[in-house]
Amino acid sequence: MNRQKIIAGNWKMHKTVQEAVDFIHLLTPKVTASKALVFLAVPFTAIGHASAAAGNTNIIIGAQNMHSDTQGAYTGEISSLMLREQGAEFVILGHSERRHIFLETDAFINLKVIRALQDDLIPILCVGETEHQREQNLTHKVLKEQIEKGLHKIPEQDVTKVVLAYEPVWAIGTGKVATPQIAQEAHHHCRNCLSALFSKSVANKISILYGGSVKPENIASLVSQEDVDGALVGGASLDPKIFSEIINHC
């Protein structure tokens, strides 16, 4: 299947504006020949300068979250239009840290996905089971629910713009990467859920990224799996040399 490969960095709450700009200058020459698309989700404060620094390179800048409304009395929140104005082209939605620490619900995440599509931001919708849910054999059920609820009311012609990220919560920031087999099995299930919700041909067009302790040493075996179309990388995206190794192994 010829789906576009994507390696997306997720910096979380790391890097000042200057650090972001320096990083992009160091990363650019290392990834010019990359086959994968390079996405970088930087802190809100760095989006404008990072977009300018990324300029005509193949690095695409995005955000890590946003609100579902375009404006309103939501102290501390940010809107899709504000992100677009700064040059963001994509946004991570429903990351497990948003779900677990900030108690975001599937319904709220769904509204954000709808808004992102309306305002021309590529949504990266994150789904994934906790360790407890995996032990209880609930992985398939959890993924199905998160996908169905996250993509509720999204028209078929828009859904191919969505990128899905399978991020098992037990693998995020723990060093416990999923084996390629576990990742493939979960990705295949996610694709089946997309097929059931939309159609097989739509499901086959959607890139599904794996996230959770991705490193230069494990990326090649993960992306060699049929349904793994790239990665969402946290910790290992903070160093330009390590991140470029991941990109160039893809």
Residues annotated as catalytic (active site), given as ranges: 95, 167
| Residue number with CB closer to ligand PGA (178 or 198) | 178
List the one residue from 186, 232, 247, 250 that touches ligand PGA (CB under 6 A): 232
Output phi, psi for 59, to 5 deg: -100, 130
Does the protein bind ligand PGA through residue 212 (CB under 6 A)?
A: yes
Closest separation between CB of residue 126 and ligand PGA, Å? 7
How many beta carbons lie within 10 A of that of residue 51, not counting itself?
20
Q: Which is nearer to ligand PGA, 24 or 209 (CB)?
A: 209
- Which of the stretches 18-26, 63-71, 78-86, 210-218 binds ligand PGA when contact is defined by CB under 6 A? 210-218
Contact status, residue 99 vs residue 65, Cβ threshold 8 Å: no
Residue 223 near ligand PGA by CB under 6 A: no
Give residues 8-37 in contact with ligand PGA (rule: CB under 6 A): 10
Binding mask 153-172 for ligand PGA (x = CB under 6 A): --------------x----x
* Measured CA distances, 23 to 4, 41, 91, 97, 220 (Å): 24, 13, 20, 24, 23
Per-position DSSP letters for 216-245, written without gaps between them: HHHHHHHHTSTT--EEEESGGGSSHHHHHH
- In angstroms, what is the minimal distance from the CB of 11 to ligand PGA? 10
- The whole-angstrom separation of Cα 15 and Cα 18 is 8
Q: Decide if residue 208 touches ligand PGA (CB under 6 A).
A: no
Q: Are 143 and 130 in contact (CB under 8 A)?
A: no
Backbone angles phi, psi at 197, to 5 degrees: -75, -35
Residues that bind ligand PGA (CB under 6 A): 10, 167, 172-173, 211-214, 232-236
